[in-house]
Structure 1
Amino acid sequence: MKEAENKQGSFKNIWYGIGRKRIEIPNQVLRDKVIDDPLLNSLYISSLGYYPNAKAHFTKRKKGLPGNMLFYCVAGHGFYELRGETHTVNPNEFFILPYDEAHAYGSQEKDPWSIYWIHFEGKNLPAFNEINAVKDCFKSTRIKDNGEITALFNKMYESLELGYSADNLYFSNLSLRQFFSYFIYNNRHHPVVENKELDSVDRVILFMQEKLQESLTLADLSRYSNYSVSRFSNLFKQKTGYAPMDYFMHMKIQQACQLLDFTDRAIKDVALTMGFDDPYYFSKRFKQVIGMPPQQYRAIKKD
């Protein structure tokens, strides 16, 4: 180990340098306290660290790792290789490497990166990697950070630094979900000032929200998006997992639920408010979405 500690750069896929911070949770701790815990074992931290000005940092794995890795570059430049492509990484960009896939990554020689990173595993990792927003993160993605990301990382790191008590493991691993959201759904944490900053699907969803009490057609939505009906429908489903009109219907029924929950208005009035001229059709669509007719839904809520 002394040989490794005296090196400046990577040694057996681990970087050694000034300011290096790294915690690797022992396998015994993971087996005893995490892997069988239903609150933790879906996604959990196995190691994490911070490498500032990581000169000569380089790692290559022919078979990948048993978990994902998330890298957040806060300064300098680097690169990574995945699925036959090489990607550059700039300041304020992050990327995720999926488990069990060959990869390589490292810092740029002239301007080495400073990175925060987390290696995480869990039984729900396959499902996590199937989320469309996560798939997008296999390519380097620019994000905004007002200090929340690094602050949360430091809290997680400092908690594990104090030892592997149940409380420390719970705090760090439950915080991991919020940590992911800062990256994967970064725009949700930063208010959007102008509609032009949104992509076409986000703009249409806001348009839907404004028109919940009206009857819109697929043609109306595609026209608003400035795409053809087929192109818009494909983009929308790719991002949300729903066809546009199904999504709009879910939004309408969600709003109807709130009217049923918090007002005493008659069901036919709720139907009319949400743009349904036929209360029977409203009840049919309500049952398709919620699993029960509106009368039963309201009765259960009052019980």
Structure 2
Amino acid sequence: MYGCNAYKKISVMEGFIMPSIMREEAIPKEKVILAKNYPIFVADTIGVTSPYQKLHWHNVLEINYIKSGTGYYIINGQKFEFQQGDVLLINSNDLHCAYETKDLVMTVISFDSTWFIHNLRFDPELFSPFREMGKHYMNLIPRDHPAMGKLRSLLFELQEEHVGEQRSYATVVYSLLLQFLAIVNRQCRIEGEGGSEPSISERQLEKMRQVIMVMEQNFAHPWTLEELASLVYLSPSRFSEIFKRAVGMPPLLYLIHIRLEQAVTMLEGGHMKVMDVALECGFRTLTNFNRLFKKHIGMTPKASQKQHS
């Protein structure tokens, strides 16, 4: 839990208290639970579910291999467009979200770095690709990188071993991931100050974290752009510009996504009327709710409710 002294209350708006000073955990770290004796998760994902279209961060390291389709990541305010054959590395403290543009299928590998703690005694640079991200390494390893053939082969074999669960598969998965990390460390390093300058500063990113937390906690409030901007003492135009760089979409569109995600959850419960769900989630009219729900979710609210009843 976060310490109470990490927050300073300065004003009250429409019945809720507005925090002005927050720690980095303004967007709570997602704690991924992995088995202690085999701390790795490997799976193919189709598209990007709504929770991962929102900014998040977690306590594990992540490797993504793009099997097909296209999309993009927003990582610490930088946009990385990807397509089939690309690999992405995501550090445990990277604030990120992902979006599909077309027919996206990717292999997601999440693992606990402490699994390799004994290897660091004789190879302390093993995790340099994550520690030195943005300086000597990039989040995106492009499909035409000279090392990609070997990296791709290791990831394919790793997934095959993980799924097959034959004798000693955990040892084989461990060794394949170790090889992958070593090759990235050796062949993907950019000498000199090769990384690009972040498009958004850490201070700006922290301000956006603060606003997002308030939006998610008070999603039904009738926010205006001016109100949101005032939370972090920015002009509406400047706030909108920074928010879009950090999140990948304008603030009020992001608010719609938050509300729709809440609406889907409420509809799944099956005991609320569609009109009541709309009002609870901050939509002023049923017509507007139906239109936005169909546009972003791909079906009507009633159809969604029936699907889960």
TM-score higher than 0.5: no
Quick one: higher RCO (CA 8 Å, sep 6+), 1 or 2? 2
What TM-score do the two structures reach when normalised by structure 2?
Answer: 0.41
What TM-score do the two structures reach when normalised by structure 1?
Answer: 0.42
